Amino acid sequence: MRTKTEQLKELLFDWGFREDVCEKSPSLSQNYVHFFIEEDGVVICKYIPPHNIRRTEWSANIKDEDFGIRFYSTVFFSRIEFHYHNFAIMRYLLQLKFADGGIDSLEIVFSLTSCKGKKIKEQSMIYNLDKKYFLKQITSIVTNHD
Give the model confidence (pLDDT) of 16-25 as tens digits.
Answer: 888 876 555 6
Tell me the β-bridge partners of 34: 29, 46
Is pLDDT above 60 for 100?
no
Q: In what order do the strands lie in the sheet with 42-47?
A: 18-20, 27-30, 33-37, 42-47, 56-61
- Pair 56, 103: CB distance under 8 Å: yes
User: Mean pLDDT across the stretch 6-15?
Assistant: 89
User: Mean pLDDT across the stretch 80-100?
Assistant: 64
Write the pLDDT tens digit of every residue in 33-54: 888 888 888 888 887 776 666 6
Burial 115-125 (b: 16+ CB within 10 A, else e): eeeeebeebbe
Distance from chain centroid for Cα 29: 11
Read off the pTM. 0.78
Average pLDDT of the chain to the nearest whole number:
78
Residue 136 is predicted with a pLDDT of 93
